[in-house]
Structure 1
Amino acid sequence: MVVAVPGFIATLVLNAFVLDDYDAYGEVPVPGSASVHLPRGEVTISLHADVIGSPSGGGLPVPPLSVTIAPPNGVAEPVVTENIGSTTTVNNDAHVRVWVAQVAVDGDYNVTTDGKVGGFIDPRLAFGHGSQLGSLVWVFVGMFAAGLVGTIVASKWLGSVRRKEAPAASIPGFEFPVTPVVSPAVTSTPHQPGGEGVRLERLKTIAALRDSGALTDAEFESEKRRILDGN
């Protein structure tokens, strides 16, 4: 989790500002036309314009736009699908992905653009590609999720271990030791307490257990009667 969070943030920044080559293949003014060399595969088409300050609402608005990509002779026309992305702004220069084109053959394509861009400064459509490390973001997301699950599992396991290591509680109704404590011999034979002495010691023991909370009052009375009855 410690590695995943900064890695996720760093990857987002790199993808947005360093590795996103949105105008790698050239730009065409809106409205306007030009020839653009496009490679085979996926090509991003972004609206690119200058802005004064931050774009209104936090993003570059996408006006009604149209684009026509005429292929070389004998080549299939690229398949263009709408794919609106987030706005990236650096030093009053903003761009936002509008379409993604699937180009069948590498070649020079004639591009014609149009749109309602009266309120934009130097609007154009940029042809390029996204970051090749875009999927790395999901690697860090997976690392964070795995770390979170591991933390929860470890916490539960540690709690169960601590419960097993806790001292066992006193069990009501168990047999109390009846062997009296014998004082060390000095010069005479050790004193062996009689029956009354044993009962007295046992009564003191259960009284102490009751005072400490190990025995309930009902258990204390039951054990007391058993001792007094000589059992």
Structure 2
Amino acid sequence: MKGRLGPKIAAIVAVCTLVVGGGGLIVSLLLDAFVFDRFDAYGEVPVPGSGSLHLPAGEVTINFHTAVTGSSGGGFPVPPLRISMAGHHRLPDPVLTEVMGSVTSVNNDVRVRVWVAQIAEDGVYDIKTGGEVNGYINPQLAFGRDSSPGWMPWLFGGLLAAGLVELGAAVLWMVRARQAPQPARAPISLDEPSWPGPIPPPVHTYQPTDHGARVEELKTLAALRDSGALTEAEFQAEKRRVLGS
């Protein structure tokens, strides 16, 4: 039983790690999508169209934002899009990097990240958009920021992977523990108990008392007299000797 306790404890620890890792990964992804990702924090510009937005220095996310009549089913098509950005008062133009992100859908509202803009200085920027958006409902480019901690999905994903490895090792350990030879148990005997030690068991013998020995000897003398081996005089003499008189 002691040999199987270790694998059971390892399996319990592995399952707990899996639960924490899997649950934490799901929660972190939901937080990234619906709490930390403020995709429209700085405003939106229609597609096609133009507008001016105040953007802070740093990284700004640009998402294609539209509405759908049914479920996107994870296969939302992003149309060809165009964008140009220019700063007021000789501000340096932002640096655009195309980054195709995952689709986020809430009810009939769908968005997907398409660019990341590096803004050198805080200020107002003129934005012009274009694209083949026929068939899309109220298409816009949303400008915002992503404040999600990038380490959370990696942390819980690592815990999930570690839990899988631990569970596999625990199962293998459990199988080997079951296959290990068990010490043979002593046979159960229904016979009389035997003496276990090297010293011979005590022998219970009957030691006759002095009175019993005299009675037995008198019986022997009487039998000898009756058979003629002893005369009456000899019998009486032996009897007195036995009785000590």
Q: Is the 8 A contact 1:28 1:125 kept in 2?
A: yes
Q: Unaligned 5+ residue runs, structure 2? A: 1-17, 185-196, 207-245
Mapped to 1, the partners of 2:200 and 2:151 lie a distance apart of: 78
Q: Is the 8 A contact 1:27 1:125 kept in 2?
A: yes
Q: Is the 8 A contact 1:59 1:86 kept in 2?
A: no
Mapped to 1, the partners of 2:149 and 2:205 lie a distance apart of: 91
Q: Unaligned 5+ residue runs, structure 1? A: 169-178, 189-231
How many pairs does the alignment contain?
Answer: 178
Match of 1:92 in 2: 108
Indicate the percent of aligned positions where both proteins have the same amino acid. Answer: 53
Match of 1:82 in 2: 98
Q: CA deviation at 1:117?
A: 0.7
TM score, norm. by length of structure 2:
0.63
Q: Secondary structure at the match of 1:14?
A: helix
Q: Secondary structure at the match of 1:18?
A: helix
Q: CA deviation at 1:60?
A: 2.8
Q: Partner letter of residue 43 of structure 1?
A: V
Report whether the alignment pairs 1:141 with 2:124. no
Structure with max Cα Rg: 2
Match of 1:24 in 2: 41
Mapped to 1, the partners of 2:180 and 2:63 lie a distance apart of: 62
Q: CA deviation at 1:184?
A: 2.9
Mapped to 1, the partners of 2:70 and 2:204 lie a distance apart of: 100
TM score, norm. by length of structure 1:
0.67
Alpha-carbon distance change, 147 to 31 in structure 1, aligned in 2, over 3 angstroms: same
- Which protein, 1 or 2, shows the higher relative CO under an 8 Å CA cutoff with sep ≥ 6? 2
Mapped to 2, the partners of 1:160 and 1:110 lie a distance apart of: 69
Counterpart of 2:205 (choices 180, 183, 187) is 187
Mapped to 2, the partners of 1:161 and 1:91 lie a distance apart of: 52
Mapped to 1, the partners of 2:171 and 2:76 lie a distance apart of: 46
Match of 2:63 in 1: 46
Q: CA deviation at 1:129?
A: 1.6
